[in-house]
Amino acid sequence: MGRIRSQTIQIRAAQRAPLARMVVIAALLLMPAVTSKGQSAPARSAPDPKQYDQLNLGFDNAPDDQVEPLIEQLGSPDFETREAASKQLEDIGPAAFAALSRHYYSNRDFEVRLRIEQIVKNQYLWHTLLKHNGFMGVQYSPHTGTPFDPNQPVILIGSVEPGHAAQKAGLRQGDVIASIDQHPIGEIEDFAEYIKKKGVGGKLALTIIRRDPFDHTLTSKELTLVLGARPIELYNSSVEQTQELNARMQAYSIWWEKHFSLPRASRDRLPTSEVLQIPD
C-alpha cells in the first residue's frame, strides 16, 4: 500500500460517502478492542544458539581493571555503593560473566553471591530472550475498513500502556493503524510476529487514522515508534510466550549449573549456613 496522504475528512451526510461506508467508519472507531498484549518484514538476526552455551554468550571479556573494582563494591557496607555496582555490572553484561564466575566460586559473602546470581540471571535472560522480542505496549484488535478503502484490514488500538513505546510515540486509544513500514496490515498473527522480530530498538513507521472526539474529523498521520522490551511479567499473555519463557529458564538452569555451580570441594570450605543455600 502506498503512503496515505495527510488529509482531513469531515464526516457529514451522504454528500461525502455512501451510507455503507459511514457505517464501516463508525463501527471501526467505536467498537471496543479485544484485550490482547500481543503485538512479517525484516527480522533482526538473533545470535547463534551455540553462543548461548558459552560462559560469556559470545561477548569479549571485559578488562579485569574495569570489572574487579565493581565486584569488590558488591560487598561494600554502604547500600547505595552496592546498588550502583550491581547496576554498572549489569550494564557491562555478559562481558563481566567470567570475572563474576571466579568471584562466585571464591567469595564467602552471601550477599555478594546473591547479587552475582541476580546480575547474571537478568543479563542472561536479556541477551537470550527479552531484547529479541519487540514490544509496543498496546492492546489492539483487527478490523476491516478505512475511509479510503472499506475492505482494507487495519488494527484498532484499544488502550495504550503508560511508559511504553506506543505512548512515547504518541499513539492513542482509538487510533487506527492503516499501514506499518509502508506495508498494508495483513493477518493479526503476522502483525504480532512482525513486531516481535523487529526486536528492542527496532523502528516502525506507522500510518494511523485518528478520530477527533469533538468534531468527528478523521486525520491521517505518520508516526515513528521505537520498540521496547516486553516486561518479563507479561510473558504469561499467551501460551506461546509462556512456553518461550519456560524454555529459556530451563536453558538458563543448565547453563548456570555448567558455569557457576560450586564444585563439591569449594562447598566443603564454606560455612554450613552458606552451603545450605547452594542447591545440588
**Whole-angstrom distance, CA of residue 38 vs CA of residue 36:** 6
* 210 and 72 housed in the same domain: no
Q: Considering only 21-35, 91-105, 151-165, 264-278, which range has the smallest mean pLDDT?
A: 21-35
Distance of alpha carbon 17 from alpha carbon 11, whole angstroms: 8
Q: What average pLDDT does the segment 20-28 reach?
A: 35
Confidence of residue 72 (pLDDT cuts 50, 70, 90): very high
Question: Do residues 85 and 205 share a domain?
Answer: no
Structurally, how many domains does the chain consist of? 2
143 in the same domain as 222 = yes
CA distance 170 to 97: 38
- CATH at 190: 2.30.42.10
Q: What is the mean pLDDT of residues 117-135?
A: 94
Structural domain contains residue 159: yes
Whether residue 256 lies inside any domain: the answer is: yes
Cα 140 to Cα 208: distance, rounded to the nearest angstrom: 13
Position 208 scores a pLDDT of: 94
End-to-end CA distance of the chain: 58
Average pLDDT, the chain: 79
Range of the domain at 59: 51-128+247-275
Q: Is residue 265 part of a domain?
A: yes
Is the predicted pLDDT of residue 41 greater than 50, yes or no?
A: no
**Same-domain pairing of 67 and 118:** yes
111 and 61, same structural domain? Answer: yes
Report which of residues 92 and 186 the model is more confident about. 92
Are 151 and 121 found together in one domain? no
- Among residues 181, 188, 183, 200, the alpha carbon closest in space to that of 135 is found at 200
Predicted TM-score (pTM) of the model is 0.70
- In this structure, the answer to whether residues 194 and 216 fall within a common structural domain is yes
Answer yes or no: do 121 and 167 share one domain. Answer: no
167: helix, strand or coil: helix
Evaluate whether residue 36 is within a structural domain.
Answer: no
Residue 42 lies in a domain: no
DSSP 227: -
Cell output for 4: 496515505
Using a 10 angstrom Cβ sphere, with 0-12 exposed, 13-18 middle and 19 or more buried, the burial of residue 143 is: buried
Kindly report which listed range (32-46, 69-83, 114-128, 168-182) carries the lowest average pLDDT score. Answer: 32-46
Q: Is the pLDDT of residue 57 over 90?
A: no
Comparing 44 with 228, the larger pLDDT belongs to 228
- Domain presence at residue 39: no
User: If we measure between CA atoms, which residue out of 137, 167, 149 comes closest to residue 17?
Assistant: 149
116 pLDDT above the threshold of 90: yes
Better-predicted residue by pLDDT, 17 or 81: 81
- Is 41 domain-assigned? no
Instruction: Specify whether 75 is located in the same domain as 12.
Output: no
Please say if the pLDDT value at position 132 is more than 50. Answer: yes
Q: What is the mean pLDDT of residues 85-108?
A: 94
